[in-house]
Structures are given as structure tokens and as C-alpha cells.
Amino acid sequence: MASSLSAAAQPCCFLETGSFLSRSGKSEARRGNLFPAHVSAGLGAFGSVISAEGQPFIRLREGREARLWRSSRRVIRVVAQVGSAPAKTATPAESDRWWSSDTIAVVTGGSKSSIGLEIVRKLSKEGVKIIFTSRSDKTGREALEKLRSEGVDSVEFHELDITNQQSIDDFASWLQQKHGGLDILVNNAGVMVISAIGQPASYDVVKLNFDVNYYGTKRLTEKLLPLLRNNPAGARVVNVCSRMGALKNIGPKLQPRISDPDLTFEDLDALVAKYLDDLKAGRPVDEGWNKSAYANSKVAEAAYTRILARDIEAAAGGKPVLVNAVCPGFCRTDLGNPHPEKKGDFRTALSLTFFRTARDIVAPKSAEEGADTPAWVALAPPNSANGAFFSDREDVGY
């Protein structure tokens, strides 16, 4: 198999197809002497580990490849990315086109050079009216000015902090009064806040992740569900989750409780509340939660999505709605610190122990590529999947 890496690349080890790097950095065809399971799972988030001409690669989604490098401290870093497949279009077949120029989509977290902003661009190109939100009025208006300079006219901005109930209420009231509701909700706003590498997540760090990724998404969705317009083709709720929140990333004691098909909103809230209360009180946390606060918040968000999809008929007052989770993949964005003015307080790097800093990695996807699947799911034709978890336009399951 031919390699796409340059001849200058100097791999330090050889990886058999389907295996992971051993602690010694040598080839391992068997499953012994590997990094801990959560590290292996982290590698899987990029794609499958393969070998080509004796060189180690992670085969990334959409055909991209990256070289693995092992440092003297025995951590794995992605240090080179070669090539990039063109972003797919979110345009479905003309016969599947259910929306019109009157269709209204709300996209949260749509400022800066983010996945949200790219989702706005993609949906706008399809003729959908967009309302995007940001916690910062200044940043949001700058993004709006940039979009309009690009010729994107069917777009509005409204300030929204999904951790603040009053802000949510004000936004919902404005949306109803000005537009009469919405047809598509893309819950894209999120944060990744972690403790110092190698240290357990503190209560404050965990709470920050859950306040935005779980509670914020949940509160906004519950407020806007009554405002979803009764379209014969159905409305759409798209929650931008993460494969770090996959069930495989929590322990066997917790998995059956989270994956229980009869899990209710109240059950999930109780599990999350106990986790946070135990951390705050300094009590041992129930075995099964991941060491990553971000991953745990995404586990909860994905579970919420699955419950909502199951119970959407009752939750939306009988209106037809498709509810799905999507993972945009690991993209070159500023996801992380929710308080930029306090850069010294939090590390905005991936909470995987084989990364030392955010500079140790080259994200395999652009924001535009990451926006492809969320936009595609937002425009899914009637009778499409409900309650699925999509990544690269494939249902990968929870």
C-alpha cells in the first residue's frame, strides 16, 4: 500500500494493522503491554491504526493520514498531517428538499472560526434562514459582519448564554415574537475544560463542562421545543456531541445504567447530580465515570439526545421531530476555555493523557469539514433516522 507521507518522514516504530503502540514503542501484534484502555480509545477517535511500507499511521476519516511519533516520555503525538479530502456538500437530492426560504434554523455557538459558523454558511447556501447565537455580543456581531461581507444575507445574530436561564428565556421570547418559532435547532455550543494533565478533574472543572454541554443544551432545547413549527416534513433537533462521550468510554458498572432503553430524563439527571455532589463533597465517585470531565459531559449529552428522540412525540406536543446526535470529529477550532480572560486557570487541551499540550496535536479536520455532518443531518429528509448518532454521515451508534 502506497504511503502519502513525504520521504522525509522518519517513523520511530511499526504498527501492525489494528494494533496499538506498546509502551516500548515496538510493533505489537498481540493485545498485551499496551497503553491504558482510555488511551487506546482515544486513538480510535482519529481512525484505525494501520501500517504502510513499514511506517505507522492512523488512517483518518475522509482519507487523510497522520504520522505517529513517540516522545522520550512515552506519549503519543500526531505530529504531521498530509493532505486533506475536499469537504462534502450538505446538498441532498432535489427530491428530498423539504425546506423553503421561510424555514428557520437556530445554530448556537456560531461565532469566531468555529464549526457553528461553518454550519451557518452551509445551511444558508441551501436557502435556510439562520439565527446564530454567541455568548459574546461583540464576537457575534463581528461574525455577522463577516458573513454579510461574504454575501450571506439570510442570517441574523442574537446574544445567548445557554448557562443562564434568563438569557434563554429572553431569546425564546424574541424568537417567538419576531419569527413565530423555528424549524431546525442545532445545539452546537460547547466547551472543553480540563484540569492539569495527569490530575483528576476537580468539581469546578466538571461543573463548567456540565453547565454548558449537558445542562445548557437541555435547558435551551426544553425551552424551544414548544416553538418548533408544525411542519408536515417535521422539525429537526441536532445535538453536536462527541465520540469521547461514547458508551465505550465509561466503565462497565455505569454503562448498563446509561444505556438502559428505559432510562428517563429524571434518571439521567439523578446520575449526573450524584456525580457532581460526590465530587463537591469529596466523596468517592461511582465507579464507571471517565477521568475526563469533558467526556462525561458528552456521555450525558448523548444520553439526553437518545431519551429525547425516544420521547419526542410527547416532549414536542405531538409534532413530528427528528432528534439526532452528531460528532463533527476533531477539528481545528478554539473549543475549550469558556473564560478566555482567565487563560491561566484552565488548560484548553484534549483531556487525553498521551497529549501534553494542545500544540502536540494537529487536528485532522477543518471547521468546514466538521460542519458537514451536522448540516447534513439538519437537512435530513422526512422519515430519516431518529435517535441515531452520526459521524462522517454514518450512524456509528452510541
Active site residues: 294
- How many Cα neighbours within 13 Å face the side chain of 247? 16
Interatomic CA distance for residues 347 and 100, integer angstroms: 43
Dihedral, CA of residue 262, residue 264, residue 270 and residue 276, to nearest 10: 100
Q: CA–CA distance from 265 to each of 27, 202, 268, 300, 323 (Å)?
A: 46, 25, 5, 10, 15
**Nearest Cα to 282, choosing from 193, 206, 196?**
206
Query: All 3 cell numbers of residue 349?
Result: 487541551
Convert 271-284 to b/e letters by CB count within 10 Å (16 or more is b): bbeebbeebeeeee
SS3 388: coil
Interatomic CA distance for residues 115 and 23, integer angstroms: 35
Kindly report the length of the chain. 398
Interatomic CA distance for residues 195 and 205, integer angstroms: 7
C-beta of residue 90 within 8 angstroms of C-beta of residue 116: no
313 class by beta-carbon count within 10 Å (0-12 exposed, 13-18 middle, 19+ buried)? exposed
Interatomic CA distance for residues 255 and 250, integer angstroms: 6
SS3 355: coil
Query: All 3 cell numbers of residue 282?
Result: 469529596
Cα 156 to chain center, whole Å?
24
CB atoms within 10 A of CB 2: 6
Return the axis-axis angle of helices 203-210 and 265-281, rounded to nearest 10°.
Answer: 160
Q: Which residue matches cell numbers 429524571?
A: 266
- Report which DSSP code applies to 211: I
